[in-house]
Amino acid sequence: KNEVEQSPQNLTAQEGEFITINCSYSVGISALHWLQQHPGGGIVSLFMLSSGKKKHGRLIATINIQEKHSSLHITASHPRDSAVYICAVSGDTDKLIFGTGTRLQVFP
C-alpha cells in the first residue's frame, strides 16, 4: 500500500472552475508538501505545511493532522495551471515520500 495516496489521478476542468485535489497519508509526518511538475519535468515547491491552511495567490492548501488528509484548492482555474500536482510528506527524516500525482488539464 502506498504511504501517500492522491485523488483523483486525472482531472479536467473548464477555465474558471474551482479545483480540489486530495491527499491522504498513512505515516507520521513532520510536514506535507504540495509540488507542481510541468510537462518539461521540472518540480516546483508550492507549499510546505504542518498544520492549518496556507494561501498563495489562487492556491490554497489545507491539512487535517488528525485525519491524515490534505487538500489543494485552485480558485478561478486557468489553462496555465495545467500540470501534475504532487503531494509529498516528510517524517522523522527529511527525505520526501511522494504520491503518484494528479494530472490536471484546464481547458479554455
Partner 1 sequence: EPEVTQTPSHQVTQMGQEVILRCVPISNHLYFYWYRQILGQKVEFLVSFYNNEISEKSEIFDDQFSVERPDGSNFTLKIRSTKLEDSAMYFCASSGFSEAFFGQGTRLTVV
Smallest distance from the beta carbon of 24 to partner 1, in angstroms?
15
**For 54, what's the count of Cα atoms within 13 Å in the CB-facing half-sphere?**
14
Judged by the rule CB under 8 A, the positions of this chain that interact with partner 1 are 33, 35, 40-45, 48, 86, 88, 93-101
Nearer to partner 1, 17 or 97 (CB): 97
31-37 and 83-90 strand pairing:
antiparallel
Please say which residue, 17 or 103, places its beta carbon nearer to partner 1.
Answer: 103
C-alpha span between 32 and 65 (Å, rounded): 10
Q: Which residues pair with 53 in a beta bridge?
A: 62
**Least CB distance to partner 1 at residue 10 (A):** 13
Instruction: List Cα–Cα distances, 75 to 47, 81, 83, 99, in angstroms.
Output: 16, 10, 15, 22
Query: For partner 1, which is the closer residue by CB, 66 or 93?
Result: 93
Query: Rounded to the nearest whole angstrom, what is the least distance from the CB of residue 18 to partner 1 in the complex?
Result: 25
Least separation in angstroms between residue 105's CB and partner 1 is 17
